[in-house]
Amino acid sequence: MKVILLERVEGRGALGDVVTVKDGYARNYLLPRHKALRANSANMKVFDAQRAEIEARNLKAKEQAGKAGEKLDGTAYVLIRQAGESGQLYGSVSGRDVSDIINAEGGKVERSMVVLDKPIKTLGLHEVKVRLHAEVTVTVTLNIARSADEAERQARGENVITSQFEEDRMASEEAAQDMLAGGAGSQEGDYGDA
């Protein structure tokens, strides 16, 4: 299906371009969200008559997104989640979780604006892109930890999983040294002549 784009669409074209897309993509995504019009002669005339207005509206939306993006870009958010010993989360962090934490901190982000290339399934610091407008994308940092103390340690740059394994190894070595020093299995004392 041929459509006229009313805004820049990633991987398809810019405002005013006439592009060919799959029918389902046009019917289910572009047309209902007012991102495109069917490319017929009547719509071409309407678009040409309103092109300046559409461009002005798009520019205004881009400027508003840019202002919001300045406040949001580079911010960090802490998410407390349950995880196993190896740092694997019980579940994953979704776009809804990211938008909820940003909105709770005073931002204004919809779930559809969060761009997750792959689900987040481990503890640590993760950079997530948020597309506020077709031409405005910012990056936020998620600090996913099991506790607030762990989140602080991760924020300082410490890898809490490896340090946990290191602490466990040191405790095991100390226990082994205590057993050797105490003479495990040997008995001291005067037992007399029995």
Lowest-pLDDT range, 34-48, 124-138, 157-171?
Answer: 157-171
Q: Domains in the chain and their CATH numbers?
A: 2-67 (3.40.5.10), 76-175 (3.10.430.100)
Residue 158: C-alpha distances to residues 14, 117, 126, 184 (Å): 44, 25, 14, 37
Residues 6+ apart with CB under 8 A from 71: 107
- Average pLDDT, integer, range 93-110: 89
Q: What is the pLDDT of residues 123-155, one digit of tens each?
A: 889 999 999 888 888 999 999 988 888 888 888
**What average pLDDT score do residues 6-12 get?**
84
Confidence of residue 72 (pLDDT cuts 50, 70, 90): confident
Tokens 């040409």, residue? 48
How far is it, in rounded angstroms, from Cα 44 to Cα 66? 30
Residue 190 predicted with pLDDT over 70: no
Closest by alpha carbon to 135, among 33, 71, 55, 75? Answer: 55
Burial class (CB in 10 A: 0-12, 13-18, 19+), 159: middle
pLDDT for position 70? 87
Q: How many CB atoms lie within 10 A of CB 93?
A: 20
